[in-house]
Amino acid sequence: MYLFYGGVPVTSAHRPTRHKPKSIERNVLVQLITPANVKKAQRLAARLPPKWNRRVREAGKVLVNYRGARSTGARGILFNLVSHYSPLVATEYGKGLILVNTDDGEIGRSVFITHEYERRYMGAAVDYLRQARGAALGPVFVDVGANIGISTLDALMQFGFEDAVCFEPDSRNFRTLRMNLVLNDLDDKVSAHRMALSNHEGQSVLQRTDGNFGDSQLVAAAEPAGPGARDHEVCEITRLDSYLDEHPGLLERIGLLWIDAQGHDPLVLQGAERLMKEGTPVVVEYWPKGLQEHSALELFETLVAENYRSVVDLRILSDGNLPQATIDSSEIRSLRGYYLDDEFTDLLLLK
C-alpha cells in the first residue's frame, strides 16, 4: 500500500495585476452574489446528479473565491491524481494530521482540499455554549456517526474536550478512524465502537454507498439497494441509554453530543432519553430530504419540540447572525421551507 502525504501548499506564478478589469469583475460579482441568488444557485445544483452537484458547487466557490476557494482549488485536481496510486492520503487537519480514503469523493475529498469539515460549525456551537453558560463544558465529546474522526479530532485538538466516545458502524470508516486516533496520539483518550446508535438493540444491515463513505445508511434486511449502493454489511446496534447504563458517571461528564446519522438521527435521540432529560447540548444534522426518505422528519420535529426549548442554526450562527439563527423549538417545522432539495445544516438543541 502506498501512502502519499498531500499537505504541501500549492502556489501559483505571479501574474501582472490589471486593476481596472479586476475592479469591474469584483463589482459584477458583488451585484450577483446576493443571499437570494446563492440560494437559487444551490437549489439548481441540487437537481443535478450528486457528482455534478458537488462539481458545480466547487466551481461556484472558486469563481467567487468563497472562503479562499481559489487557493485550494488545485488540491481537488491533486486528490484525483493521487487516488490512482494510493488508497489513503494524509493531509494537515487543524493542529494534527488526518488520513482520508481516496475512494471517498465526498467527505474525504473535501477534507483533503480544505483541511477541515464543518469546523466553523463546531466552533460556533462551542463558543455559544461557553458564553451562554458562563462556564466550561463537560469534558467528554460523544460522536455518533464519527466517520473517520473528523469531528472528534477537532473536538479534542481544537476545542478543549478531554475525552471522546465514538460510534461508527461502517467498517471502512472505522478502520481509518482508529488509524487517525493513533496518528494524533489520541487513542488513549477515545473509546471507539464499531456500531450504530438507535432506539433499540440488536443487529441491522448497513448499506454502503460507492464513492461516498459518509452516506452509509441503516436499512431493513429485505430492503433493496439504492442508487449507487456498492454493498451491505451487518452492524451492531445499541441505545445511548444502554451505553450510559454500562458506564456509570459518564452522563454527567458529557459536554456535547454530536449526531450525523444520515436520516437516522431522530431514532438516535429516541434512544438517548436520559441525555435529553439531563439537558445535555446536542448538535444534530438537519437534512429534511434525508429525514423524509426515512419517514422520520415529523418524528424529529416532535422530539425537538417536546424535549428542547430553543434551536440554533449553526450555519447561520457561524456567519455571525445570532438573532436570525435562534428559533423557539415549537417553530422547528418552519425550517422545512428553508432547506430544500439536498440542502442541510447543523442544529444546536438546547433545553
Domain boundaries, the chain: 3-114, 119-350
Q: Is 145 left (phi over 0), alpha (psi -120 to 50) or beta?
A: left
Distance CA 245, CA 237 (A): 15
Q: What residues form DSSP beta bridges with 231?
A: 208
pTM above 0.75, yes or no: yes
Cell numbers representing residue 326 in the block: 435562534
118 in Cβ contact with 285 (< 8 Å):
no
Is the Cα torsion angle 274, 143, 329, 302 positive or negative in sign? negative
Successive 10-residue mean pLDDT values, the chain, 351 residues: 41 37 47 57 62 61 57 80 94 96 92 94 96 85 97 97 97 96 98 96 87 76 51 92 97 97 93 96 93 92 96 94 93 90 91 89
Residue 4 has a pLDDT of 44
Residue 226 has a pLDDT of 53
Residue 64 has a pLDDT of 56
Q: How many CB atoms lie within 10 A of CB 278?
A: 13
Q: Tell me whether strands 345-350 and 88-93 are parallel, antiparallel or unpaired.
A: unpaired
Report the amino acid identity of residue 16.
P
Cell numbers representing residue 122 in the block: 463546531
119-350 folds as Rossmann fold (3.40.50)
Residue 159 has a pLDDT of 96
User: What does the pLDDT look like over 36-60, one tens digit per residue?
Assistant: 665 566 666 566 666 556 666 666 6
Q: What number of residues does the chain have?
A: 351
Q: Tell me whether strands 310-313 and 326-328 are parallel, antiparallel or unpaired.
A: antiparallel
User: What does the pLDDT look like over 89-137, one tens digit per residue?
Assistant: 999 999 999 999 999 989 999 999 999 999 999 999 999 999 887 777 9
Residue 30 has a pLDDT of 46
Kindly report the three-state secondary structure assignment for every residue of the chain.
CCEEECCCCCCCCCCCCCHHHHHHHHHHHHHHCCHHHHHHHHHHHHCCCHHHHHHHHHHHHHHHCHHHHHHHHHHHHHHHHHCCCCCEEEEEECCEEEEEECCCCCHHHHHHHHCCCCHHHHHHHHHHHHHHHCCCCCCEEEEECCCCCHHHHHHHHCCCCCEEEEECCCHHHHHHHHHHHHHCCCCCCEEEECEEECCCCEEEEEEEECCEEEEEEEECCCCCCCCCEEEEEEEEEECHHHHHHHCCCCHHHEEEEEECCCCCHHHHHHCCHHHHHHCCCEEEEECHHHHHHCCCHHHHHHHHHHHCCEEEEHHHHCCCCHHHHEEEHHHHHHHHHCCCCCCCEEEEEEC
Q: Taking the mean position of all CA atoms in its chain, how far away is CA 149?
A: 10
Please choose, from the candidates 127, 40, 130, the residue with its C-alpha nearest in 3D space to the C-alpha of residue 320: 127
Please choose, from the candidates 272, 267, 237, 246, the residue with its C-alpha nearest in 3D space to the C-alpha of residue 257: 272
244 in Cβ contact with 250 (< 8 Å):
yes
Cell numbers representing residue 38 in the block: 446563492
Give every CB contact of residue 256 below 8 A, 6+ residues apart in sequence: 125, 126, 129, 137, 138, 141, 142, 155, 161, 280, 281, 282, 283
